[in-house]
Amino acid sequence: MTIKEAQALVDDWIKTYGVRYFNELTNMAQLTEEVGEVARIIARRYGEQSEKESDKNKDLGDEMADVLWVLICLANQTGIDLEEALKKNLDKKTKRDNTRHKENEKLK
Q: What is the pLDDT of residue 65?
A: 98
Question: What is the DSSP track for 24-73?
Answer: HHHHHHHHHHHHHHHHHHHHHHTSSSPPPGGGTT--HHHHHHHHHHHHHH
pLDDT digits (tens, 9 = 90+) for 30-79: 999 999 999 999 999 999 999 888 888 999 999 999 999 999 999 999 99
Confidence of residue 98 (pLDDT cuts 50, 70, 90): confident
In a domain, 89, yes or no: no
Q: Which residues form the domain of 8? A: 3-82
Residue 100 in domain: no
Total structural domains in the chain?
A: 1
Assess if residue 52 is contained within a domain: yes
Is residue 37 in some structural domain? yes
Residue 21 is assigned to a structural domain of this protein: yes
Q: What's the CATH code of the domain at 72?
A: 1.10.287.1080
pTM passes above 0.85 = yes
Residue 94 in domain: no
